Amino acid sequence: MPEIHPTAIVDKKAELGTGVTVGPYSIINGQVTIDADTQVGPHVVIRPFTAIGKRCRIFQFAVVGEVPQDLKFKNEETRLIIGDDNIIREFATLHRGTAGGGGLTQVGHGNLLMAYTHVAHDCRVGNHVIMSNAATLAGHITVDDYAILGGLSAIHQFCRIGAYAFIGGASAVARDVPPYCMALGNRAKIVGLNLVGLKRHGFSLADLDILKAAYELLFTSDLTLKEAMAQVRQRFPEEASVHRLVQFLETSERGLAPIDVRENRSHRGKE
């Protein structure tokens, strides 16, 4: 049975799983489902059409599933779906989707959303993503697995952040950041591979050497991007990480963040 504090308000339409706890003065409003062993702290607001997975922890003053900040929104029945094992810290805000954006905002599994982070309408956040304090996603953004967004960073609507990418603190990202890369600044530029992060996630030295070679061809050679992608595919036909990188580049609609040539030269060969 769920454990609900006497001062909390839980709508009769809400469905709470076994072991769910709801702290003092929290409000769970309307058609909400919360799966087993999730902890909802004090003063949390969870709004209709929100589904939350198992073993999540939602800290005080977070607002989850509020209507989007979109003037085109007409109170359609859109959704927010949050997976398992997520940590949502103080004052974080996560909003439902919009009809024009597919009607769904989605957060995967094992993510850490620190204090004051914002996930806007129609975003897709993958698994094991870290959003540091006050990192902000505008609408329609995709953040792939294991990406890290530094504190006070802001991502423009419709951008994509690739897997294992690192966005530096206080950066403003206006275009796509490819997998495995670091981007810094306002407007953010790509400054190299996220070598420290890749090592921490178990990429071997051989893996890193392959990614370095692919990166050099794609971003610092005199080839056009189309020519470089063809060469990279030919040189590394069986490498999944390279395939992921090239596929991201091929499917970019907003365009890629620019390359900081000086930074890439100064970091060449460094780890």
Active-site residue list: 121-122, 139
Could you tell me which of 72, 91, 88 has the C-alpha nearest to residue 80? 88
Distance of CA 89 to the CA centre of its chain: 15
DSSP H or E stretch at residue 142: strand 142-143
Q: How far apart are CA 187 and CA 79, in angstroms?
A: 32
Closest CA to 124 of 174, 158, 153, 92: 158
Are the beta carbons of 198 and 210 closer than 8 angstroms?
no
With a CB cutoff of 8 Å and minimum separation 6, the contacts of 269 are none
Q: Specify burial of residue 88 (Cβ count, 10 A radius: 0-12, 13-18, 19+).
A: buried
- Judge contact between 53 and 84, C-beta under 8 A: yes
Residues 255 and 175: beta-carbon distance below 8 Å: yes
Helical residues (DSSP H) of 89-144, grouped into ranges: none
